[in-house]
Amino acid sequence: MKEGNEMKQFTLSPLDAQAGAEAKAYLDTLTKPVGSLGKLEEIVIALAEIQGRKKPVLNQLGILVFAADHGITAEGISAFPQQVTRQMVSNMAGGGAAINVFGRQQQAEFTLVDVGVMGAAFTEPVLDRKIRQGTDNFLHREAMTQEEVEKAISMGFEEALVLFEKGVDCLVVGEVGIGNTTTSSAVVAAITGIDPAELVGYGTGISSEQHLHKITVVREALNRHQPVASDGYDVLRKVGGLELAAMSGAMLAAASKRIPVILDGFISTAAACAAETISEGAAGYMLLGHQSMEPGHQKAFEYLGKKPVLSLDMRLGEGTGAAVAYSVIQSAVRMVNEMATFESAGVSGKNE
């Protein structure tokens, strides 16, 4: 590989275990029984290791949504027609999607990027970064070329850096793309070796017959292309999506800057699996916002060693579950920064 190979050789700083240990020790001095704030304390420790400080800080959420179409929709694997991708991008550009609502609630910096939606370029506020008109139908051909994968990853990396320059210190990476649960099933199956039957769900509401067909499509595609599990570039090229590749790039950018990523549902976590194979250690910079209803999501996040912050039976995508989880993550950060210690409050500690 040429230029893209430098991304493959890109190495990340290890997590700061010392900062995590200091955060744990400090949490135990706060005016509460040890461990009584449960997962909130785990979030603080994880953020301390990511940011390299005992008391992590989150000031500005960024939401970065990538949109693209998928050739695999020609196989009848979605309940919605392909043009819904374009329609949803327009809705999101107008501020009417769920991710817009939750983004406004969090006062997030929001960026929407067309990386491969069928049709003409959108007008602002959608950024035109179209690499091609959707992917090929990966049941019959590789989804895209090596150059296109590299372009999508690099573009996602650069768009994340733009947000970081605006002061974003926590990132949600979302997506729009009819057919992308099928693509994500193929990507996760390729990387983990898990049988597609355990990963493929009902997506946006397909029938039982379509569900069985979707499993068959993923199995046949993997048998045809034989993607290399340890090579994220190979997996994305053969059975991936343009938005998944861009999402992986954005996640790698965040990890390179020690900025936490809040993962969303199945598509987001599939992109995270690809990012981890491209640059080992990337997953250490990720928190899991919620547990999706998609069956493959649990398999994917268990592969990454993650536990969800929330479980709200969500399955929308766009980054919505991650954006909602940000409120809880903020609560954890405020707790460690604002709570009194036993000593400062003059409160007696536990009886020895």
Structure tokens at 50: 């990511």
Q: Residue 218: helix, strand or coil by DSSP? A: helix
Mean pLDDT of all residues in the chain? 95
Q: Which pTM was predicted?
A: 0.96
The set of catalytic residues is 318
Report the chain's terminal Cα–Cα distance, integer Å.
Answer: 63
Q: Which amino acid is at 209?
A: E
d(CA 51, CA 43): 12
What tens digit of pLDDT does each residue of 248-277 get? 999 999 999 999 999 999 999 999 999 999
Residue (of 228, 220, 141) closest to 191 by Cα position = 228
Q: What is the pLDDT of residue 5?
A: 42
**Residues 170, 193: Cα–Cα separation, whole Å:** 31
Please list, residue by residue across 54-66, b when 16 or more beta carbons sit within 10 angstroms of its beta carbon and e when fewer do: bbbebeebbbbbb
Give mean pLDDT, residues 131-141: 98
Q: Could you give the angle at which helices 242-256 and 232-239 cross, rounded to 10 degrees?
A: 160
Coil, strand, or helix at residue 186? helix
Q: Which of 261, 282, 300 is nearest to 7 (CA)?
A: 282
For residues 230-256, give the mean pLDDT: 97
Other beta carbons less than 10 A from residue 79's beta carbon: 14
pLDDT above 70 as % of the chain: 97
Neighbours of 73 (CB within 10 A): 24
List of residues 6+ apart from 179 with CB closer than 8 A: 69, 70, 72, 73, 77, 78, 82, 241
Segment 283-329, tens digit of pLDDT: 999 999 999 999 999 999 999 999 999 999 999 999 999 999 999 99
Mean pLDDT of all residues in 171-185: 98
d(CA 219, CA 186): 8
